[in-house]
Structure 1
Amino acid sequence: MAVVSRAPLGITPSVDRIRIHEIGVSAIMASGGEAVAGPATPAAVEDMKIYVAVGNNVKESKLTLIWAVQNSGGKQICVVYVLVPSQKIRMEGLGAEILVSSATDQMVRTHRETERRNMHMLLDEYLKICSQMGVRAEKRFTEALSIEKGILELIRADGIRKLVMGAAADKRYSKRMMELKSKKAIFVRDEAPPFCHISFICSGHLIHTREASADLADTEVSSLPVPINITPDPGLATLSRSPSETPRRNEAPKLTNPVQDMFSRVFSNSERRGARPIVSSSPESNPEPITAQSSLEREESYHGSERSSRRSHSQSSVASSGSSIGATEMISSPPVRAEMIERRVETIQSNRNDEDSAPSSMLDVNVNDNLCDQLEQALTEVENAKVDALQEAMRRAKAEKDVIEGMRRVKALESLCAEEHKLRKKIEEDLAREEEELSKMKNQRDGVLEELRIALDQKSSLESQIAETEQIVKDLEQKIISAVDLLQSFHEERCELQIERDNALREAEELRRRQGDTSSGTFPQYFSEFSLLEIEEATRNFHPSLKIGEGGYGSIYKGFLRHTPVAIKMLNPHSLQGPQEFQQEVDVLSKVRHPNLVTLIGACPDAYTLVYEYLRNGSLEDRLSCCDNTTPLSWQTRIQIATELCSVLIFLHSSKPHNIVHGDVKPANILLDSHLVSKLSDFGICRLLSHNEHSIDSNTLLYRTDPKGTFAYMDPEFLSTGELTTKSDVYSFGIILLRLLTGRPPLGISKEVQYALSTGNLTSLLDPLAGDWPYVQAEQLAHLALRCCEMNRRDRPDLGSDVWRVLEPMRASCGAFSSFRMGSEERCQPPPYFICPILQEVMQDPQVAADGFTYEAEALRGWLEGGHDNSPMTNLQLSHRNLVPNRALRSAIQEWLQNH
């Protein structure tokens, strides 16, 4: 507020600057002596808005935006985003990027449009967050080469007063975080204009605040029109503005009318009377009492109702009169004072005009006497009017302060309402969640009830089923009891029938011996016949542990018959070999003898059982596949087996009076004795060829029958025509010869060997387990085998004239190995009774244990010391732990070791 001091002749009040409030206050401006009411400043509008800088990381920027909304105090939110155009364009589908400078204009435009579209989608997402929080927001964006420079451009362009932005780049918030971590935040803090207040946020927490400069208030007011002060000037009242105006405006205007001449004379007279000059009082001085106060207040109360409407008119009239009666800026002065000053000025002007015709001497006297009094009175009233104007300004300032306080309270109420709205919204959301959970619980309850109902139904169904099952069990128990009784009776009857059968067999045998009857005997006299009882005793009633083979014909058991190890083949009633095949094998093997044919010891006609000599090395099939970890056959032994097989087939094919065709030559029917001598077996499907049968020519006989045998070894021409000849065995021999060479399966083996020979890669097919085959002999055998495997039987070689001439020299070339009919590794193998059952090595100190078996002494002691009291072989408990040296066996082992 300005304080006015009085002068004897004229009073010039000095009005200090009045701070224009930021929001809702009309600014009082003086321009050319005219009072103007203006709207609120732009700074005031900007203070009602909070700008929030966001980025591409919605998660982090969302926390910053939420903090700004919660601390906005109800102010409007403006989301600010700086788009930094990328310098690379990603080529979709190629997975590569190119520089913008290398791309076409169309590609760049399309890329920029995509960036702007993504930017608007991102800003809409932030606006959606504000909308969900019940806050109205707007978006503001710009494009710049960097984010921090774009933010500075927006601050300067929009005059941003309050800004909220992130404080740390890719950092987590901690209580010890007090400084800015982001280079962008530091740059904005240092380079932003001083009028901008900036809050830096990290993970929803305020980290740092840069306050606006203390000179912000003066900066805001200086941008508004500045009120005019009245300053004294010797002899003339002039207009002056604030020091910020140019010096030209402080120059006094020229006085050109009579009233101005009058003012000059009045002021000159006042100076001669010794009046002191007019001086503006300081704000600390107190104003002197004003004499016209009471009358002015009464007149103001009279015209109070019309003050507002007449104020502007009175001020404009004073400004347009052009007189210097104190061309003072009237800040909110009452209209009555302006009218009074206007009437006084008009009176002075009229008197001046009337006295223009009078003599100059009279004019001077009248002016000096009358006008001085009038001017003094007018200036006094002007002073009073100024005081009233200042008081009015003070009242208005107080009213504005009350308005601001009211607005502050309104904002507080709005904040409370917003918080209440948020609380209500949160409560509604909690209620909605609770209702949803309650609904889920109801659904779960309904589901559980439904499952319980189903379970109860199932329970009742199961109970009924259990009752039915119990009844069925009871019935079955009765049936089982009846069946057991019936089985016992059947068993008793079976035993009786077996006894009767054995008695009948014995009686029949006795009768045949007495009568010399040979009705059953198509068997030769030297052929042994065994009873079923003897066969069952020899095989311990066909115990599974004694089974050594099985096929489509039946099973083969190892047995001890009449103190001799034998192989017993019992035909299966459902096999392909029936009584006819059984009798045929008996006829052939009982009449034909050859070193490479298996020996048929006897038979049991009642059970269709054949008794052969026992061959301990099993079949050729087992040795080729090394079953039970048996030792592989050497190439010398394989040549020996091929030669022996060729020999026995030549013998059979040339037998008289009937040629014999085996019909099922395969490795499984070739057995090996203890010296690896091969013996052909299983003549169940063999055929006898005679000249009475149809023949192809004079040298080739055939037998028409349904094809039987193993497919991989069967003659293809026999399969297609049903004509069995001796060349059918030649084809099977060729397949076996290829298997001896390669050790591979029979299917497709001929094509593999043919391809290897054509490419010179036979060595890769030879079985490495046989040792190093002589390549010349291996190649010769391969060619011979492929000739035997020709599809047309007429192209196959003759075993006696062609094949034997190749194999016999090969066997002879094996030297000493062929003479012993075994390979070098077989000759070096020790007898099995030299091997310790525990260590599987040749014994050095053989000892006999309580179970009757001989062990290596050290191995058996380790067995017993390990806590075992049973036999390693029989698993039965040992009667004692004493060991007896087997000196005879020890001497034999030492002799064998010396020879080998």
Structure 2
Amino acid sequence: MARMSGIRYPVVDTSGIMEIVEDKVYVAVGKNMKESQSTLRWALHNSGGRQICILHVHQPAEKMNILGTNFSINELEASKVEAYHETERQDMRRLLDRYNKTCQQTGVSAELHPIEMDSIEKGIVEFILQHNVRRLVMGGAADKHYSKKMVDLKSKKAIYVRLLAHPSCQIQFICKGNLIFTRPARLDGVGVAISSPSRLPNTNSSSVESSLRSRSITEGHSNTLPLTSPTPDYRRVMSDNRGTRISPNSAGELTLTTRLPSGRTYDEWGGISQRSPSTGSRFSTCSSEMADDSGLIPYATSEADSDYGSVPRFKDDVLNPSPPSVLERGMNDELYDQLIQAMAEADNSKRDANDESIKRRKAEIDAIMAKRRVKEYENLYAEELRRRLEIDEAFKKTNEEHENIKRELDEVSEELRMALEQKLVLESQIADSVQTVQDLERKMFDAVELLHKYKKERDDMQVECDDALRLLEETREKQAEEASCSSASQFYTEFSFSEVKEATRNFDPSLKIGEGGYGSIFRGFIRHTEVAIKMLHSHSLQGPTEFQQEVNILSRLRHPNLVTLIGACTDAWIIIYEYLSGGSLEDRLNCKGNTPPLSWQTRIRIAAELCSVLIFLHSCDIVHGDLKPANILLDKNSVTKLSDFGICRVLSQNELSSNNTSYCCRTDPKGTFVYMDPEFLSTGELTSKSDTYSFGIILLRLLTGRPALRLQMEVQQAINEENLKNILDPTAGDWPFVQAQQLALLAMNCCDVRKNRPDLASEAWRVLAPMRVSCGLPSFEFGSERQCAIPHYFICPIFQEIMQDPVVAADGFTYEAEALRGWLDSGRNTSPMTNLELANSNLVPNHALRSAIQEWLQQA
């Protein structure tokens, strides 16, 4: 045999059995990682240094599960099926990577051979045939079927591969890491053992060919030919160059033998005579192994290559011995004739036996082919049955669709009938409408007549109205004189200290919601209303002054972005405000208590509302003086409420600042250092521009979310480097860059030197108003028209009129007392504004708002 693919070599071992050298071991693995891992580890342990090749047959799914129902791939779109199969292939690649990793852990580099077929066992058989595989290791049974006494295969795939794989491949079947069965390799019906190249003897091609030829002779019993007159002359040895000799035995009979490379002799008349009992036993075992599946191998040998094809060679050797003088000296003609006759009979017997063997093998092959055809017919029957079931299912679905269409047609018919009926109803309604229009026209003529009548009455009432207005004007003047003489205590509710203690549960620390240099703030319920109670420190020298100043300011001013004053306790310097559940802007910027971060839209709205209330204060010649995020409160809807007016100042018109452009007052600097105007710190002059500086720092904090210290320098550096996006607060969402840039420039201008700071009403509001509108809020302008318009918080939400007796309900909104009592007396217990259930039906008079309304009416 010639050398094949550089890796297989034919040799003959000492027992005379042919070996085919194979330097690769193929291991068939499946999807079951646990079972295949034990097979792979066994192959790695018993590979003998050979190259490991991992073989995996991928079987594409024939059905897909969609919403819990299995569908055949033939019923689905090709793109979906291909995507599903691609997912399966990716899973297969990951599985092979895991097997490859197992090999790498043992220091072995494995080759991967994935193939794709509809049948796993057929794929293995075809792969063995196409790639000339000489050694294969695969599973023989599932792990649950394994037992120590197992000697046969339990897997249908393993049985299929054992029967139909090419006979030249040796297959070892493994179960649970144990070898349970071995199918030896064969070459033309002769047992073949697989060995590694390291076991090759130093033989040339002529010796290998001689060994194979001598091995192909069929085994048999040695026969002898009796001689009539044995003489010592016939005990001479006759031999040729191939080792054939004729010699007498101990019984005086002449025997023709041929020396085989394995140490056996060939008897021309009787076949191969065994050298020893041990040798014969081994050969018989090999023959029995060959007989296991010999009938299943669909390969036949020609007479020239059969076991009997070698006999004529030996016959020629006997008929033409070398040298011929040996026979001439010791044999007579009669003995020679007997020898020729015996050889001819032996030749005929062996030829008959060979013909019978060929016929038997052909019959077995025909039987196998018949079984295969029966299997194919069974498969065809199953396929036809499957198709019939699919057709029945399709027919059933078609009937269902037909029924559905029929039902839909019935529904459409019913809808058409209802539409016709509705059409008749509409026509009747149109006729009624025409009649109604005619009636209205008649009524309109009657109304014109009444109009002329009412016009005359109106002229009369106009005269009465003028008289009433004159009387009202006189009444307003009297009220203004009385208001100028009254004290500030008329504009807020006075609470006793016992009421405050009861509202705070004797100032329970668990109700404390804030604390600072001014004092402490508690949360409480007073007169069934949730309020914030600010208690100033008694040891503070500024306590009485700050208390009186804050009460005077908040009791006379009213703005939607100013905190509402509920009342006060003058005995203990306690101020009672409306409770704002949103906390301070400082807490929300720091997300205190795991509160959600403020969005950029909310931050723009807070900036606009803060600018609005500052414009209002400055128009009243009031400077807050301590503007910072901790003094900016938020309600549950994140509406801005400015608080803490303890150190605010009312600018005197008699004092001007050094630049003679704005009013100012001189005072000792108080407040938080990082938010204070540097020029106020150096000169002691407090002006409205000082609030503008603090407003600019707050804008920078809303933009960046960073601490105020050195924040101005960081933003200026980012603007210079065109890197503003990187310092914007990411928790606010995606800032619109144009608006963020405008806010940053406005904030930096507000933080500039005092003379360069923008005017809030004319310049800052011009930037913030469009942004406020973009966030979905209504726009408004500051000016004379705005001052003459009725403030919206003076209007009762129910009556839509200016309130005369404003009261605060449990929902926190202010209503006209008469309107809200009528709302509650009608059986309702929900808020007119939020439609949520009211906690209680108690009404608290809003004296501060009442005084603000009266003051506004006097000035209007």
TM-score after normalising by structure 2: 0.34
TM-score after normalising by structure 1: 0.33
